[in-house]
Amino acid sequence: MADKLHDHLRDNPAHKHPEPYQHEMNPHAGEGGNFAKAGRHAGEDDRHTAYDVKEAHRLLKEFHDDELKRIPILPADMRLDAGATYIDLRDPARREFTGSASTIVGPDSLIVPKSEVDYPLWNRLIGITDPARIDAATPGTSD
């Protein structure tokens, strides 16, 4: 356990200098890096899904409860991964956007990470209706 902690501290630029001098010598240490992803994402107890968030539930009324439970909503103040794809459910067009090192989830955002949603469900979220892309069987056809 101690070795893991020391590895994390060594790899984390926020801990490059001794504590009394860290903020002075490197006040923006670690901003923009994806170096410690495990510590950045909310734990299982802190996770919310579209099923848990009343507004998301309302915005996604065409989705069933089991689907809503598979759509994670990122917590406010979380830094997005640089280069990763997201949508904000409050965006009526549900346009995909790419996270940057300086992007932080706002308190009024309903951000969904593409990396945590299966493809057919993600395609439905962004408005794709082609049955082949949403894993929907075409009525009247057989395999």
| pLDDT at residue 137 in the model | 47
Backbone angles phi, psi at 87, to 5 degrees: -135, 155
Structural domain includes residue 113: yes
Structural domain includes residue 98: yes
Structural domain includes residue 19: no
Contact present, 119 and 75 (Cβ < 8 Å): no
Residue 19 pLDDT exceeds 80? no
| H/E run at residue 5 | helix 2-11
Structural domain includes residue 135: no
7-10: long-range pairs with CB below 8 Å, 24+: 8/36, 8/39
Residue 118 — very low, low, confident or very high, per pLDDT cuts 50/70/90?
Answer: very high
Structural domain includes residue 99: yes
Sign of CA dihedral 44, 45, 46, 52: positive
Number of domains present in the structure of the chain: 1
Structural domain includes residue 10: no
Structural domain includes residue 101: yes
CA–CA dist 72, 51 (Å, integer)? 9
CA–CA dist 109, 119 (Å, integer)? 22
E strands, the chain, in order: 48-49, 72-73, 85-88, 97-98, 111-113
Structural domain includes residue 89: yes
What is the average pLDDT score of the chain?
77
| pLDDT at residue 52 in the model | 95
Per-residue pLDDT reduced to its tens digit, 47-68: 799 999 999 999 999 999 999 9
Domain carrying residue 114:
48-125
Residue 17 — very low, low, confident or very high, per pLDDT cuts 50/70/90?
Answer: low
- The average pLDDT across 127-133 equals 78
| pLDDT at residue 130 in the model | 77
